[in-house]
Chains A and B, each alone.
Chain A
Amino acid sequence: MRARFGSQALGPLATALLAFVVGGLVVLATGHSPLATYAAIFEGSGLPWLEPWVSGAQRQAAAFNLQQTLLLATPLILTGLAVAYAFRAGLFNIGGQGQYLVGAIVAVWVGSSFGGMPGWLHASLAIALAAAAGAAWAAIAGLLRATVGANEVITTIMLNYVALWAGVFAFGLGGPLHAAGQPSVPVSNEVVPNARLPVFWGDPNLQGLHIGIFIALAAAVAFAVLLTRSTRGFEARAVGLNPEAAAASGISVGRTYVRVMATCGVFAGLGGAMDVLGWQFHLATNDVQTSEIGFLGIAVALLGRNTAIGTCAAALLFSTLLNGTSVRHLDPSVFPPELAENLTTIIQGLVVLMLSAGFLGSGMLQRARLRLARRGSAASAEDPAGPSEVPT
């Protein structure tokens, strides 16, 4: 098992490395030093905090940067899981963005109303309702697929935009969730202090790290357990592998589609709730329109090979890159952040592109191992699905 995980992780890692090399060439082509740039991105991401020799003010700055990186990783893990779970059932959920937004909208609504409630209850209620809203939103696509066979790619894309404009309407001037105290700013009310998620690392007034990262990691564990240890997960995988065969063995394919999409919506909706209750506390129409967390989740899931551990690792990589290249964290004297943000997108694209062909990835490795195995012993070659039995 351990050996198998190692070989599976090697491909994506090598791919990411190669993408960084190509990205470095892009930096070089525009007349900057790739090494200095990557060092500055590393600095900006807060990863130097992990180096024990960093101390004093530097250490504090690194801690703050790392908090921001993990803050970003939280929703990326969740929207990544939302895409990955659908992929495992043979569905392509492009709707993570809409499900995330619906969750965020509901979280901001619940979090900024019902003032008198105890904090833990208020936060839990906001989280639960946000997850439920995400589930309901995603289930529309599942239901349409199950009943009339409408392609989920279309329906989830459309639902993304409906959610986006619903948010713009809700928080816009005169909208139902528009803050009454700010007549000229299209923004929602603030989440009451009671309902905010506790900060366990850093200054709560300076966007410290809230406990949402643990909720995201718990969701990843739930993802793995659900998929590999539950009947529902088994049904989802069976439908993903072969819907006809699954139907023939008595699994209701339609019902599975609805359940799978609803589960995806829970993950993405949680992501929205984490951001709103953890550090944003309000949503402006602009936030709704510029958010890309759900779309990034697609790349996170793909890089993570649709597994729980992979999705978490990919979310960490992407949040490191995004945060390290953000205007706030990258030293502009080394490399202009406006360029670096795009460099991040290019690197993401290259990583996903090379993964598509199993370039340096598990596909190529497995083929090589298979060849080795055929040469070595006939017995192990009969089982191409079990690379763990192949001598390395």
Chain B
Amino acid sequence: MSRPRRLVGVGVGLAMLGVWVWVTTRPGAGDLGRVFAWGALCAAMLRFATPLVFGALGGLFSERSGVINVGLEGMMLMGAFFAAYGADITGSWVGGILIGVLAGFALGAVHALFAVTLRGEQIVSGIALNFLALGLTGYLYVAVYGPQGTPDNLPQVPSVHLPLDKSSFLGEAFGQLDLLVWGALVAVAAVWFVIFKTRSGLRLRSVGENPTAAETVGIGVIRTRWAAVVASGGLAAAGGAFLSIGFVHSFTPNMIAGRGFIALATLIAGRWKPLPTLVIALLFGLSSALALRLPVLSPSAATLFQMLPYVVTLIVVAGVVGRSIPPAAIGIPFSRESGR
């Protein structure tokens, strides 16, 4: 990309940031110390980033194998409902996560059936998954729980207590995090290792870049894509499970509220790589955490601060990330007979 063009993008981004800052700070600034309890802010950043990390890692599996996944939202929603339901019927958060992830696998399998085996249009079936999951979880929620909602005593994913001084930065930031927050960080490392350091990861990537070549050396394209898409559903569902039984301790219809799409954006902005994706998710998490705290400075602009994560993502994508190049074979159905 030429330099002047990128500068235009940076300019557009800066202009938007400028407008936003101008609008939000007009009523006058207060003292920053009150707003930025840095340790708590860091913990909140990690909490907000966690569902996105799981969702984006799920998307990474699918898209690296050449299957577009715009159904992350639905997969996360399945995870959120079935984790709550599973925790309720088994009486344990472990059961909740397991059943949530299984539900994610199931929706992933639907995507694989239509996008891989039936060689459908991948964006279309992904959108369909979102509607399906929204309707199915909403239906089951009304049928099972009705107006009372999920029970108050829903088993919750426990927090990990680290022996750190509670008043120190480290203690505040890392002392009391939900197990699944750590799970997300471990998952980033694990996914990086699997995708870039193992034989199956190499196969998965080759299927996403050049399926014909992969097939000629004996890698089953269809089978690999199936595995990747099903895994994708499970990972995204873990993000949903974190939201329902880790973060808010209940399920409400449509509770993913666009986070699946934001996870997709995180993945694309992270250029389909685990570590950059984590960085983008953390940035989004940080601006979400800030958005909740900044109203102290200017209560009248409280709702405007809610824009912050989205504006920041826009600027990052426009000004810094620019063009991200997807896996070469993404979106193209593979058929063994025609070799593509």
Contacts and interface: CB of A to CB of B under 8 A. Distances in A.
Contact of A299 (B6, B131, B301): B131
A151 B70 CA distance: 14
A155 interface: yes
Given A94-B261, A168-B303, A353-B129, A344 B311 contact: no
A386 B13 CA distance: 47
Interface in A343-377: 343-353, 355-359
B142 A338 contact: yes
Contact of A166 (B124, B253, B307): B307
B143 interface: yes
Nearest to B125: A356
A150 B316 CA distance: 10
A154 B142 contact: no
A349 B134 CA distance: 9
Interface in A140-187: 140, 143-144, 147-151, 153-155, 157-162, 165-166, 168-169, 172, 174-175
Contact of A349 (B115, B131, B262, B304): B131
A153 to B, nearest CB: 7
A349 B300 contact: no
A162 B314 contact: yes
Interface string B86-127: 000000000000000000000000100011001111111101
A302 B311 contact: no
A353 B269 contact: no
A155 B261 CA distance: 11
B129 A153 contact: no
A197 B130 CA distance: 35
A158 B135 contact: no
A162 to B, nearest CB: 5
A349 B124 contact: no
Interface in A111-162: 140, 143-144, 147-151, 153-155, 157-162
A350 B132 contact: yes
Interface stretch (B207-215, B221-229, B321-329): B321-329
B323 A148 contact: yes
* Binding site secondary structure of chain A: helix
Interface string B303-315: 1101101110110
B265 A158 contact: yes
B303 A344 contact: no
Nearest to A144: B318
A16 interface: no
B276 interface: no
Given A165-B307, A356-B121, A147 B5 contact: yes
B332 to A, nearest CB: 14
B236 interface: no
A357 B258 contact: no
Contacts of B127: 298-299, 302, 352
Contact of B128 (A149, A336, A349): A349
B135 A157 contact: no
A61 B1 CA distance: 61
A55 interface: no
Interface in A308-362: 336, 338-339, 341-353, 355-359
* Binding site secondary structure of chain B: helix
B130 A151 contact: no
B128 A345 contact: no
A30 interface: yes
Interface centre among A148, A153, A172, A349 (most CB of B within 10 A): A148
B138 A341 contact: yes
A346 B12 contact: no
Contact of B143 (A159, A162, A166, A339): A339
A154 B269 contact: yes
Contacts of A30: 139, 143
Contacts of B179: none
Given A144-B12, A155-B317, A162 B142 contact: no
Contact of A357 (B70, B120, B132): B120
A143 B12 contact: yes
A13 interface: no
Contacts of B133: 349
Interface in B261-285: 261-262, 264-265, 268-269
B307 A357 contact: no
B190 interface: no
Given A154-B268, A161-B309, 19 more contacts: A144-B9, A144-B314, A148-B9, A150-B321, A153-B264, A154-B314, A157-B261, A158-B311, A160-B258, A161-B307, A162-B311, A169-B301, A336-B142, A342-B134, A342-B135, A349-B132, A349-B136, A352-B127, A353-B114
20 contacts: A144-B314, A148-B323, A149-B324, A150-B317, A150-B322, A151-B268, A153-B264, A154-B265, A158-B314, A298-B127, A338-B142, A339-B139, A342-B253, A345-B134, A345-B135, A349-B135, A349-B136, A350-B128, A352-B124, A356-B120
Interface of A: 26, 30, 92, 94, 140, 143-144, 147-151, 153-155, 157-162, 165-166, 168-169, 172, 174-175, 285, 298-299, 302, 336, 338-339, 341-353, 355-359
Interface of B: 1, 5-6, 8-9, 12, 70, 110, 114-115, 118-125, 127-136, 138-139, 142-143, 253, 258, 261-262, 264-265, 268-269, 300-301, 303-304, 306-307, 309-311, 313-314, 317-319, 321-324
